[in-house]
Amino acid sequence: MLNEIYKEYGEYFYVPMTQGYSIAIPITVGCSWNKCLYCDLNQGNKYRFLGLEEIDRRLKILKDYYSNRHRTVKKVVMAGGNPLCLDTNILIEIIKLIRYYFPHVDNISGFARANDILRKSKDELLRLKALGVGELSIGIESGNNEVLAFHNKGVTREDNYLALTRLEQCNISYSTYIMLGLGGRKLSKKHAIDTAKFLSEFNPDVIIVVTLVLFKNAKLVEKVRTKEFIRLRPLESLKEEKLLIENLNLKNTIFNGTHKTNALILKGRLPQQKDILLDKIHRELEEYNNEDMKDKEVLKWKRWSVE
């Protein structure tokens, strides 16, 4: 039953890490931008909106599925690369459908790009918040403009700054995604420091840290082959993460570095557990064995269907 619901999303059906226990509602397929060099999460799917009629049909199936399991659905995530790109009036109609089938829902989340947020006025965002939209996941990736431009992210540090500012003005909760290794060896230090400085200007609920992997169909593959982009080894990635944490000055944010692409599993609250996280990285660096980690890295890349 659920395979039919999520059939367009392929092998890597990716929802925000903060929403692992939310019910995914198919809304869009693919990403409206879909030009980032490093990304192939959409597996060639062109962006499209499923439409209200199809969403309604799938919601009926999901309601029956969870009703039969006597589960009260309270949190849902709108599936797709960035469903917040949809017009506000369409999003409101979608939310009405969600609430019709799942009347106890108290939070509706999803991925969003900075320009999705910036295309919406403060009043529009407040309308969405009033209907339960929150815990959005924003792919910041880097606080360095040179890194963002190289990977054709389609937004700048300034765009990301304005988007997060608008969310905080509207008191809409959010998490941010940051990608270790995105600057390669050339920009590793700038990437870490500038990203830390950027994040320190805000108060995200969670900072989710992942590590760059090379998907076999990503446009970045050619840059790696020509050595225009040199990837970090796990040891270098750990050092970059250490530099990132050292330069973070946050009020009350969870640092979640538990993604399977990372060389080391880390999670803690900042600033309260900053020293604990840094000590764990320090101990890992001291015990580091290049050959062992190289083998682990190769296995990790194989798991992610890479070159």
Q: pLDDT at position 10, please?
A: 77
Q: What is the pLDDT of residue 43?
A: 67
pLDDT confidence tier of residue 170, bands split at 50, 70 and 90: very high
- What is the model's pLDDT at position 305? 42
> Which pLDDT tens digit goes with each residue over 276-300?
999 999 999 988 765 555 555 555 5
Q: What is the per-residue pLDDT across 16-38, written as a single tens digit (0 to 9) for each? A: 999 989 999 999 999 999 999 99
For the stretch 203-233, pLDDT in tens is 999 999 999 999 888 999 999 999 999 999 9
Predicted pLDDT at 60: 97
- Region 151-155: mean pLDDT is 97
Per-residue pLDDT band for 4 (boundaries 50, 70, 90) equals confident
Q: How many CB atoms sit inside 10 A of residue 55's CB? A: 20
- This prediction's pTM: 0.92
d(CA 109, CA 220): 29
Rounded Cα–Cα distance for residues 188 and 223 (Å) = 16
**H-helix or E-strand spanning residue 64:** helix 52-67
**CB 93: neighbour CB atoms within 10 A?**
15
Helix 234-246 crosses helix 290-303 at what angle (to 10 degrees)? 90
Q: What percent of the chain has pLDDT over 90?
A: 83
DSSP character for 47?
P
The per-residue pLDDT for 303 is: 45
User: Rounded to the nearest 5 degrees, what angle is found at the Cα of 236, between the Cα atoms of 142 and 37?
Assistant: 40
- Determine contact, residues 194/142, Cβ cutoff 8 Å: yes
Residue 266's SS3 state is: strand
The identity of residue 148, as a single letter, is L
Closest CA to 242 of 305, 297, 207, 285: 285
Residue type, 142: S
Cα 191 from Cα 229, distance rounded (Å): 14
Alpha helices (runs of H) in 156-304, residue ranges in sequence order = 157-169, 188-199, 220-225, 234-246, 274-286, 290-303
Q: What is the mean pLDDT of residues 259-263?
A: 94
Q: Which residue has the tokens 């993604």?
A: 259
